[in-house]
């Protein structure tokens, strides 16, 4: 079944992925492409959205998209930078704003019977984030909304289905943002809302059957949501021709290897568990640099996985749990999606000697969609509700070099923290939680003796996608009980701190 598609042109905004996710929440399929790599099959898209950008339309480094086949020919919504670009280069005027227009604002004027603002009332809160502002509208521009500080908050071009807004509808702070996107995509562009988890499962299973046929497929399971849902989808399509390998890298949570392996077997997956803990610890000996640790863990995984894959005969395909954000970040261009901050090893991390064809059943969908698809497939809600866990595991939560003793300490601390969150009914209110073992010893007193032992930091954040995150205000009683339990039960730790930094500027993980 062909779904209507929306093209999102990315000018480097940190919010571009949010636009795509908001569109998909409306059951409409969307794709992100860098502004300078517009797809050649532009005819296949029913509408186009231009993203925001950290760049200025007045600067030296203006990002110029080629809108020849888009403007006036397709419904187009220009957000923030996009709105300023259309104004500045079509006879309008963009100037530096006297006040940096950042944060919440409210619509004070909405043009009557304006389709883009259907069901949105005056006073509706929107989110601004720009230092330039549109002083005069472009040729044929018609004002359709204002805020108290921003006169030209939204406009349309007469005679075209072109709309432009100087606020971000994709951000949660814009309370009617989803309604505005629905007005544009459904009421103006006439797009069908038929992209659902059910349709995704049905179409993906058919596509896998057609692509893979009777070939054998090998998949590395991690215990995480993505690889698990990928495995269940593949299993539904090809059954016993799927060979899953679950590697214990020695950096998993306490008892995780045994517990998850049992769960996988219970799901009817054809899975083999490989305990390679010592091999990973040997590979990490003496390495302190975070990127070097990630590479050592990635390389060791590839070696172990390759050894195991070679034991299987006639395997033609390698399956991966790659999801859409991995794909976007690995194609990031200058002025394309925001610069990659860490090396991802979900994409392109495989060596040439594994000459297998790749199958990636989840490469078109976001994390929240993976969970919805898992739900449709009947995957255990507990597995789907698991917090994200970094690929390198506790390897990047132990700051500095890694030893078996440090792993033991952190596994014990992490288990107390995570089990505590579960027993207090807090686990599902948190997006991601974990503990960090710091390369710091501090003085303490236990009984009558002075101690000089490790410090651990607890981290719990709220987020929807990991791109931005706020620390969670956990109850003091919970933190007090958890701290006492860690210090009393985990030998080697005498101090517990709680991380109250948000992302940005801090990242969720410490390394």
Element (H, E) at 205: helix 197-212
Catalytic residue check, 244: no
User: 502 a known binding residue?
Assistant: no
CA atoms within 13 A on the CB side of 53: 30
Q: Which one is catalytic: 80, 369, 453, 511?
A: 80
Annotated catalytic residue 25: no
Which member of 168, 182, 244, 412 is catalytic? 168
Pairing of strands 5-10, 141-147: unpaired
By CB neighbour count within 10 A (0-12 exposed, 13-18 middle, 19+ buried), where does 247 fall?
buried
> What sign results for the dihedral spanned by CA atoms 475, 481, 482, 484?
positive
Would you say 199 is a known binding-site residue? no
Query: Residue 62: phi, psi to the nearest 5?
Result: -65, 135
Tokens at 73, concatenated: 């020919």
The DSSP call for residue 503 is: B
Question: Does residue 81 contact residue 57 with C-beta atoms inside 8 Å?
Answer: yes
Taking alpha carbons only, the member of 15, 13, 142, 164 closest to residue 83 is 164
Whether residue 262 is annotated as binding a ligand: the answer is no
**464 is known to lie in a ligand binding site:** no
Q: Which of 101, 170, 182, 329 is catalytic?
A: 170
DSSP designation for 429: G
**Annotated binding residue 228:** yes
Residues 6 or more apart whose CB falls under 8 angstroms from that of 80 comprise 13, 51, 52, 53, 129, 130, 165, 166, 167, 168
- According to the annotation, is 225 in a ligand binding site? yes
Burial class (CB in 10 A: 0-12, 13-18, 19+), 386: middle
Query: Hey, which residues does 422 pair with through a beta bridge?
Result: none
Structure tokens at 478: 């919970």
Scan for tokens 């300023």, then name that residue: 84
Q: How far apart are CA 511 and CA 395, in angstroms?
A: 9
The total of other beta-carbon atoms located within 10 Å of residue 19's CB is: 27
Q: CA-CA distance, 236 to 239, in Å (whole number)?
A: 6
Is 455 a residue of the active site?
Answer: no
Is 10 flagged in the annotation as binding? Answer: no
Binding-site positions: 222-228
Q: Which residues participate in catalysis according to the annotation?
A: 80, 168, 170
Binding-site positions for ATP: 222-228
């Amino acid at each position: 079944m062909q779904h209507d598609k929306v093209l999102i042109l990315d000018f480097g905004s940190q919010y571009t992925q949010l636009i795509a996710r908001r569109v998909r929440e409306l059951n409409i399929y969307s794709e992100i492409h860098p502004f300078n790599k517009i797809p050649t099959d532009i005819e296949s898209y029913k509408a186009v959205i231009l993203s925001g950008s950290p760049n200025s339309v007045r600067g030296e480094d203006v990002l110029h998209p080629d809108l020849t086949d888009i403007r006036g020919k397709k419904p187009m919504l220009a957000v923030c930078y996009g709105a300023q670009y259309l104004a500045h280069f079509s006879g309008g005027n963009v100037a530096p704003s006297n006040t940096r227009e950042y944060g919440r604002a409210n619509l004070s004027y909405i043009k009557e019977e304006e389709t883009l603002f259907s069901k949105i009332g005056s006073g509706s809160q929107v989110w601004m984030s720009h230092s330039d502002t549109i002083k005069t509208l472009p040729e044929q521009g018609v004002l359709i909304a204002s805020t108290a500080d921003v006169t030209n908050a939204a406009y349309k071009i007469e005679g075209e289905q072109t709309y432009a807004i100087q606020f971000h509808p994709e951000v949660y702070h814009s309370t009617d943002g989803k309604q505005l996107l629905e007005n544009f995509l459904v009421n103006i562009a006439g797009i069908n809302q038929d992209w659902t988890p059910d349709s995704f499962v049905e179409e993906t299973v058919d596509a896998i059957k057609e692509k893979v046929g009777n070939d054998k497929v090998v998949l590395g399971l991690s215990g995480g949501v993505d690889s698990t849902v990928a495995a269940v989808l593949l299993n539904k399509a090809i059954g016993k021709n799927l060979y899953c390998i679950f590697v214990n890298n020695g950096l998993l949570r306490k008892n995780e290897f045994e517990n998850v392996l049992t769960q996988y077997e219970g799901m009817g997956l054809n899975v083999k568990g490989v305990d390679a803990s010592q091999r990973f610890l040997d590979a990490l000996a003496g390495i302190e640099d975070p990127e070097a640790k990630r590479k050592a863990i990635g390389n060791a995984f590839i070696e172990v996985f390759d050894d195991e894959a070679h034991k299987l005969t006639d395997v033609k395909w390698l399956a991966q749990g790659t999801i859409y954000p991995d794909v976007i970040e690995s194609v990031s261009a200058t002025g394309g999606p925001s610069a990659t901050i860490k090396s991802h090893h979900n994409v392109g991390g495989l060596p040439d000697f594994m000459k297998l064809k790749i199958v990636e059943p989840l490469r078109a969908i976001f994390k929240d969609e993976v969970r919805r698809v898992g739900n449709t497939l009947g995957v255990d809600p507990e597995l789907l509700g698991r917090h994200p866990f970094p690929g390198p595991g506790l390897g990047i939560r132990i700051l500095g070099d890694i030893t078996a003793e440090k792993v033991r300490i952190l596994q014990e601390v992490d288990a107390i923290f995570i089990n505590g969150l579960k027993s207090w009914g807090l686990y599902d209110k948190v997006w991601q939680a974990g503990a960090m073992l710091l390369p710091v010893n501090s003085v303490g007193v236990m009984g009558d003796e002075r101690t000089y032992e490790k410090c651990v930091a607890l981290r719990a954040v709220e987020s929807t996608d990991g791109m931005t995150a706020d620390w969670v205000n956990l109850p003091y009683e919970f933190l007090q009980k958890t701290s006492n339990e860690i210090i009393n039960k985990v030998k080697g730790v005498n101090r517990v701190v709680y991380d109250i930094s948000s992302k940005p500027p801090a990242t969720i993980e410490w390394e």
